[in-house]
A and B are shown apart, each in its own frame.
Chain A
């Protein structure tokens, strides 16, 4: 395994603009960031700071324009759409909303993701295993509207994890959940990440889940403002300022 793959994400001098001509506005400035394998990284920052844009660039959902962006050993700058689709198949996505098909059971929703890897024969087995690990063994054949919010989000996590991606990107995974189920969901993500050795990048405003992170990145107005571990992050700020900064 080469060194590039030892870091799941390597970003150098990444700039990103929205719009064109006079309306062109820069949202990301000179981002340098390395996410080593197996780390859980939380990205915080005020609204409009470019967190989601950065997340979608890493997730190959947008094409990067300037700089270098290596994800799982592959350079994303300059890839065309179908190559980006290829890259996305190796990444697990968790969204703020669960985005499950109401017409499909929990297991079928997870199986849809397995099908993208052409693994037809074991899809049901893999889906059931993953749901069981997330504590949904007895809800496998329930449809989403028979599940609670936390359970739905766990199904969505199962969908993201079932193909054992090396990189998981989560956008406010706890936003639609109450405190207790949010906590559960994050803890499960942490456990599975440790077992599978995958890298997780979470964008969140929820400071109650900061403790699962190995590292916290703060993005302000398109620039990386700080990059430190949890202890430093908390000790460097008084709690009220954390809140103000994070919920603004």
Chain B
């Protein structure tokens, strides 16, 4: 083994007092935990807005030009979808219908609006396991699948339950798992396009009756190895201007932008995350400052015998980095557990991704650097002459 270059003073100083190290690590973990939880809630709210969109099967999305987010009830002519299908590279085009229907809780007889998703069961429009298994049952008249993540107020969701959708009888033939969002606060039901006509084609005169000729969203599947951007560009140039063409990724971003800009979610949770960050800065500063203050004479002695301020900063920053590592790991795992608990308890979509974990890791790192830089000023301003006598 090679002899170590430096005496790892930072390491020894931190680990010298086990109890203090434990407190320090707990402090950093707590700050990490706060940041993860607030970020988690923020992301959960955004993620749930686009979960339906992300699961729809198709790379390109066709919309009425007026429809700037998922819940604007504007449709476009179905023939546009068939025009788009004629483009080179497009292998399939699926119409997707959606509306809001009143769902009667079969137990309490109270009515709540649910989001109705309708499409041809033979098309893989929304390939979720519960939907794929029940395609045949879905083709029968007056049948539906219900989202098992729907709020409990919608009533029993066992297959075979008979109740009313839009004041007409309906029979549940199964469930799938999607989740709620701002636009469908109560839950989702899936029905076939034929049933969609049965329930929504002949509404009262003051309501907009629906037909299959107008589509809420068109999904286009493209062949592998096609240049998505080129197809989209061509469609935008050649299709009439009443439709808007987006890649799915673009529309997901657009949807997220809408929620970011039109709600306070981003502000509130960014504020909370920032507060978590500063709680961390203060905690770590306390820990490092205690070390520096208690070893003031020793650090000043180092300075007297020719250690530069830069080298001292290095030592304190090393302590920070060690704290980051030891604090982050438990913070991360506890957060994973809490994400699980929160998701189970609230139905929120709490997702941990590598990107999010790394962002928090970087934030933790910056947190400790700031604290270290403040704490080290105590030593840097030390006049080494004061170690003599006094």
**Chain A interface (Cβ < 8 Å from any Cβ of B):** 51-52, 55-56, 59, 61-62, 82, 85-86, 88-89, 91-93, 95-97, 99-104, 108, 111-113, 115-116, 120-121, 123-124, 159-160, 171-172, 203
Which of B5, B16, B305 sits near A103, CB closer than 8 Å? B16
Asked if B305 contacts A101 (CB within 8 A), the reply is no
**Interface 9-mer from B147-155, B202-210, B294-302, B340-348:** B294-302
Q: For B300, what are the chain A residues with a Cβ–Cβ distance below 8 Å? A: 99
Asked if A108 contacts B306 (CB within 8 A), the reply is no
Residue of B nearest to A118 (CB): B5
Q: For B295, what are the chain A residues with a Cβ–Cβ distance below 8 Å? A: 101-102
Proximity bits, B270-293, A CB within 8 Å = 1, else 0:
000000000000000000000000
Say if the beta carbon of B12 comes within 8 Å of chain A. Answer: yes
Q: For B5, what are the chain A residues with a Cβ–Cβ distance below 8 Å? A: 120
Asked if B15 contacts A103 (CB within 8 A), the reply is yes
Asked if B389 contacts A61 (CB within 8 A), the reply is no
Q: Knowing A88-B305, A171-B388, A171-B389 are in contact, say whether A101-B13 is a contact too (CB < 8 A).
A: yes
Known: A88-B305, A99-B301. 16 other contacts (CB 8 A): A56-B385, A59-B304, A61-B383, A82-B308, A85-B306, A88-B306, A95-B301, A95-B387, A101-B9, A101-B13, A101-B298, A103-B12, A104-B7, A104-B12, A112-B7, A116-B306
Task: List 6 A-B pairs, minimum CB-CB distance, nearest first.
Answer: A103-B16, A89-B306, A52-B389, A103-B12, A61-B385, A56-B385
Q: Knowing A102-B16, A103-B15 are in contact, say whether A108-B304 is a contact too (CB < 8 A).
A: no
Asked if B307 contacts A116 (CB within 8 A), the reply is yes
Asked if A124 contacts B3 (CB within 8 A), the reply is yes
Bound: A137/B174 CA distance, A: 81
Q: For A103, what are the chain B residues with a Cβ–Cβ distance below 8 Å? A: 9, 12-13, 15-16
Residue of B nearest to A100 (CB): B298
Chain B contacts with A in 376-390, Cβ cutoff 8 A: 383-385, 387-390
Say if the beta carbon of B19 comes within 8 Å of chain A. Answer: no
Bound: A172/B388 CA distance, A: 9
Q: For B390, what are the chain A residues with a Cβ–Cβ distance below 8 Å? A: 52
Q: For A95, what are the chain B residues with a Cβ–Cβ distance below 8 Å? A: 297, 301, 387-388
Q: For A86, what are the chain B residues with a Cβ–Cβ distance below 8 Å? A: 306
Asked if A108 contacts B7 (CB within 8 A), the reply is yes
Bound: A207/B124 CA distance, A: 99
Q: For B383, what are the chain A residues with a Cβ–Cβ distance below 8 Å? A: 61-62
**Chain B interface (Cβ < 8 Å from any Cβ of A):** 3, 5-7, 9, 12-13, 15-16, 295, 297-298, 300-302, 304-308, 383-385, 387-390
Bound: A162/B390 CA distance, A: 26
Residue of A nearest to B15 (CB): A103
Bound: A52/B384 CA distance, A: 12
Bound: A22/B239 CA distance, A: 86
Asked if A116 contacts B305 (CB within 8 A), the reply is yes
Query: Chain B nearest CB: distance from A87 CB in Å?
Result: 8
Bound: A97/B301 CA distance, A: 10
Residue of B nearest to A47 (CB): B389
Query: Chain B nearest CB: distance from A131 CB in Å?
Result: 15
Query: Chain A nearest CB: distance from B265 CB in Å?
Result: 46
Query: Chain B nearest CB: distance from A126 CB in Å?
Result: 12
Q: For A171, what are the chain B residues with a Cβ–Cβ distance below 8 Å? A: 388-389
Asked if A112 contacts B388 (CB within 8 A), the reply is no
Query: Chain B nearest CB: distance from A48 CB in Å?
Result: 10
30 A-B residue pairings within 8 Å (CB atoms)? A52-B389, A55-B388, A55-B389, A56-B388, A59-B388, A61-B384, A61-B385, A61-B388, A62-B383, A85-B308, A89-B305, A89-B306, A91-B305, A92-B305, A93-B301, A93-B304, A95-B297, A95-B301, A99-B300, A102-B16, A104-B7, A108-B7, A112-B7, A112-B302, A115-B6, A116-B305, A120-B3, A120-B5, A121-B3, A203-B389
Asked if A99 contacts B389 (CB within 8 A), the reply is no
Q: For B305, what are the chain A residues with a Cβ–Cβ distance below 8 Å? A: 88-89, 91-93, 113, 116, 159-160
Bound: A113/B383 CA distance, A: 19
Query: Chain B nearest CB: distance from A61 CB in Å?
Result: 4
Bound: A88/B303 CA distance, A: 9
Bound: A52/B301 CA distance, A: 15
Bound: A159/B6 CA distance, A: 16
Asked if A97 contacts B388 (CB within 8 A), the reply is no
* Residue in B9, B15, B298 whose Cβ sees the most chain A Cβ within 10 Å: B298
Which of B13, B308, B387 sits near A99, CB closer than 8 Å? B387
Bound: A160/B304 CA distance, A: 11
Q: Knowing A52-B388, A100-B298, A103-B13 are in contact, say whether A111-B306 is a contact too (CB < 8 A).
A: no
Bound: A95/B302 CA distance, A: 12
Q: For B7, what are the chain A residues with a Cβ–Cβ distance below 8 Å? A: 104, 108, 111-112, 115
Query: Chain B nearest CB: distance from A28 CB in Å?
Result: 14
Residue of B nearest to A125 (CB): B3
Query: Chain A nearest CB: distance from B255 CB in Å?
Result: 54
